[in-house]
């Protein structure tokens, strides 16, 4: 019988995505004192050029820093580094490397509770620039559909952008605070289901956003998550019924 991973003393390898790498650099710049409280950060475009990444990646990292209290965005002024609040430990802000099946389903339940209305509100508030960003992400999803790792990251980008379009700090903060868990869940889901259903729902959702069909967006997003949840329950159940692999 093949020994368990725990018995062999093996730890799963952590997969770090581009956004995590940029965020880690930003966090380290704060820890080192190079980015001091009150520092006015450059524009998203400038930071994207400096880090060698897209503006979307930079925007996600800034949203994450704001949600965690490491930075603040002032309308008409820009983004500034904040002094961490007492008791806040930014050393503990590390990516989630692994999600159990139960935790993955919990993430989907959270998404069902929040993302239907998020899609509805984003549809009402989306302007031409927002639609252009979503279109760009959807194009990236199509181009990366044969690479599940990259596809799942674009999947996350699409949902994160919807939260940002709502222009509601509480919605965005809720999303950012569990961003690592969301990414991990999306990677696992895409690895198990493939990209086809995700592309279908994201294309249909973008069409509803363009036509300002807010109710249709809410219904479609809820259906998307319900279908994903049902598929994952079936896949998990099937995997549990498989006999364990044995060494020959």
User: Do 107 and 223 reside in the same domain of the chain?
Assistant: yes
| pLDDT computed for residue 92 by the predictor | 42
How far apart, in whole angstroms, are the C-alpha atoms of residue 58 and residue 50? 10
In a domain? residue 234? yes
User: Do 221 and 101 reside in the same domain of the chain?
Assistant: yes
Is the confidence at residue 86, as pLDDT, over 50? no
| pLDDT computed for residue 119 by the predictor | 97
2 pLDDT tier (thresholds 50, 70, 90): low
Domain boundary among 73, 91, 109: 91
Q: What are the pLDDT digits (tens) for 215-228?
A: 999 999 999 999 98
User: Do 101 and 192 reside in the same domain of the chain?
Assistant: yes
Residue 36 belongs to domain with CATH number: 1.10.10.10
Choose the weakest-confidence range: 16-30, 53-67, 78-92, 114-128.
Answer: 78-92
Share of residues in the chain with pLDDT > 70 (%): 83
Residue 188 belongs to domain with CATH number: 1.20.120.530
| pLDDT computed for residue 149 by the predictor | 86
Count structural domains, the chain.
Answer: 2
| pLDDT computed for residue 45 by the predictor | 92
User: Do 22 and 77 reside in the same domain of the chain?
Assistant: yes
How far apart, in whole angstroms, are the C-alpha atoms of residue 233 and residue 88? 37
User: Do 105 and 219 reside in the same domain of the chain?
Assistant: yes
* Beta-strand pair 78-81/71-74: antiparallel
Choose the weakest-confidence range: 12-16, 124-128, 142-146, 186-190.
Answer: 12-16
| pLDDT computed for residue 15 by the predictor | 57
Compute the average pLDDT of residues 159-173.
91
User: Do 108 and 215 reside in the same domain of the chain?
Assistant: yes
In a domain? residue 105? yes
Say if pTM beats, i.e. exceeds, 0.75: no
Cα dihedral value 82, 87, 91, 95, nearest 10: -90
User: Do 51 and 107 reside in the same domain of the chain?
Assistant: no
Is the confidence at residue 243, as pLDDT, over 80? no
User: Do 58 and 117 reside in the same domain of the chain?
Assistant: no
In a domain? residue 8? no
In a domain? residue 13? no
User: Which one is predicted more confidently, 81 or 9?
Assistant: 81
In a domain? residue 248? no
Choose the weakest-confidence range: 18-27, 121-130, 176-185.
Answer: 176-185
| pLDDT computed for residue 58 by the predictor | 92
Burial class (CB in 10 A: 0-12, 13-18, 19+), 212: exposed
User: Do 192 and 113 reside in the same domain of the chain?
Assistant: yes
Compute the average pLDDT of residues 47-66.
90
State the average pLDDT for the chain: 83
| pLDDT computed for residue 101 by the predictor | 72
| pLDDT computed for residue 209 by the predictor | 98
In a domain? residue 9? no
Compute the average pLDDT of residues 228-240.
83
Is the confidence at residue 155, as pLDDT, over 60? yes
User: Do 169 and 152 reside in the same domain of the chain?
Assistant: yes
248 pLDDT tier (thresholds 50, 70, 90): very low
* Residue numbers of the domain that contains 73: 18-91
How far apart, in whole angstroms, are the C-alpha atoms of residue 197 and residue 66? 32
User: Do 59 and 124 reside in the same domain of the chain?
Assistant: no
In a domain? residue 1? no
Go through 21-39 and write b for each residue having 16 or more CB atoms within 10 A of its CB, e for each that does not: ebbeebbeebeeeebeeee
User: Do 58 and 108 reside in the same domain of the chain?
Assistant: no
In a domain? residue 219? yes
């Amino acid at each position: 019988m093949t020994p368990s991973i725990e018995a062999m003393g093996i730890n799963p390898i952590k997969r770090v995505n581009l956004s995590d790498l940029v965020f880690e650099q930003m966090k380290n710049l704060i820890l080192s004192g190079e980015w001091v409280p009150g520092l006015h950060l450059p524009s998203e475009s400038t930071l994207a050029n400096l880090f060698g990444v897209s503006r979307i990646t930079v925007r996600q990292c800034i949203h994450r820093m704001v949600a965690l209290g490491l930075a603040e965005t002032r309308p008409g002024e820009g983004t500034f580094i904040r002094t961490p609040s007492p008791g806040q430990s930014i050393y503990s802000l590390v990516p989630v490397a692994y999600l159990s099946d139960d935790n993955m389903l919990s993430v989907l339940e959270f998404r069902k509770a929040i993302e239907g209305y998020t899609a509805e509100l984003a549809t009402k508030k989306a302007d031409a620039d927002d639609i252009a960003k979503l279109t760009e992400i959807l194009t990236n999803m199509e181009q990366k559909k044969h690479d599940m790792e990259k596809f799942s990251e674009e999947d996350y980008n699409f949902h994160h952008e919807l939260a940002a379009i709502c222009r509601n700090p509480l919605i965005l903060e809720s999303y950012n605070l569990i961003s690592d868990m969301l990414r991990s869940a999306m990677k696992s889901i895409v690895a198990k289901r493939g990209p086809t259903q995700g592309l279908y729902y994201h294309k249909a959702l973008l069409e509803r956003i363009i036509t300002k069909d807010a109710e249709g967006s809410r219904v479609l997003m809820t259906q998307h998550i319900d279908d994903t949840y049902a598929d994952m329950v079936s896949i998990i159940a099937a995997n549990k019924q498989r006999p364990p692999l044995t060494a020959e």
